[in-house]
């Protein structure tokens, strides 16, 4: 006997692929997008996550995503956060990686085989001029009508916010880092 209650599933009258922006200076933008991944898995949707800035330090989601099965892929293309935390790579090297990532995003869009495409830290990549605003606008304009596109990172450009269907801003009220508490596995990375 199952303890799970009978669950009804709502089906929208009209399906639409949404553009979701998660921005702000607080912790939790990528974490929120990963929550959408878990939810999408419940609907047997295929998800591709392209990380634009992360890649030089291990993050738990890299192995966690593998445990969700073959419906979810995570591609980390970055060399870490450009210009901070002692990152040794030049702006040109970061831009080259980000350009490869935006091309990959275009290929995912063209394939039509992804239900949700998450461009993690794309807003930062735009702000730092690793990706041109026009490149992201082209991705948005060529998105298939039923594909959901999730854009994370600080400093979302006003033009992107205007095009989005849903925009959430994560604001820091308090952070353990400010108390000299080191980042903790499973919570911060």
The pLDDT value given to residue 149: 98
Reply yes or no on whether the pLDDT at 59 is more than 90: no
Geometric angle at alpha carbon 184, from 75 and 175, rounded to 5°: 105
- Each domain of the chain, given as residue ranges in start order, spans 19-170
Phi/psi at 181 (5° precision): -90, 125
Outline where DSSP puts E strands in the chain.
19-23, 47-51, 72-76, 116-120, 148-152, 166-169
Q: Residue 141: pLDDT above 70?
A: yes
Look over the chain and give the mean of its residue pLDDT values, rounded to a whole number.
Answer: 90
Dump pLDDT digits (tens) for 77-136: 876 676 666 667 788 888 999 999 999 999 999 999 999 999 999 999 999 999 999 999
CA distance 154 to 172: 12
Q: Higher pLDDT residue, 53 or 33?
A: 33
User: What pLDDT is attached to residue 33?
Assistant: 98
19-170 has CATH 1.10.287.80 classification? no
* Average pLDDT estimate for 140-162: 97
Instruction: Give strand pairing partners of 107.
Output: none
Token pair of 152 as six digits:
């994370």
Higher pLDDT, 163 or 60: 163
pLDDT of residue 3: 67
Question: Does position 1 have pLDDT exceeding 60, yes or no?
Answer: no
3-class SS of residue 115: coil
Using pLDDT thresholds of 50, 70 and 90, give the confidence band for residue 166: very high
Query: Poorest-confidence range of 46-55, 105-114, 157-166?
Result: 46-55
Helix, strand, coil fractions of the chain, as percent rounded to 5: 35, 15, 50
Compute the distance between CA of residue 59 and CA of residue 74 in angstroms, rounded to an integer.
11
CA dist 41 to 7, 72, 136, 157, Å? 16, 8, 26, 29
Measured distance CA(23)–CA(157) in Å, rounded: 10
């Amino acid at each position: 006997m199952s303890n799970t209650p009978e669950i009804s599933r709502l089906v929208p009258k009209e399906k639409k692929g949404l553009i979701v922006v998660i921005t702000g200076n607080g912790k939790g933008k990528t974490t929120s997008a990963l929550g959408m991944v878990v939810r999408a898995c419940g609907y047997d949707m295929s998800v591709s996550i392209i990380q634009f800035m992360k890649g030089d330090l291990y993050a738990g989601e890299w192995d966690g995503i593998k445990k969700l099965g073959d419906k979810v892929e995570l591609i980390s293309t970055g060399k870490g956060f450009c210009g901070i935390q002692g990152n040794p790579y030049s702006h040109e090297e970061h831009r080259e990686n980000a350009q490869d990532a935006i091309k990959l995003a275009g290929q995912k869009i063209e394939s039509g085989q992804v239900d949700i495409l998450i461009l993690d830290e794309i807003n930062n990549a735009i702000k730092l001029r690793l990706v041109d605003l026009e490149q992201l606008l082209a991705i948005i304009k060529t998105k298939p009508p039923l594909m959901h596109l999730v854009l994370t990172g600080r400093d979302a450009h006003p033009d992107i916010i205007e095009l989005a269907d849903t925009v959430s801003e994560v604001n820091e009220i308090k952070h353990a880092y400010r108390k000299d508490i080191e980042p903790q596995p499973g919570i911060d990375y």
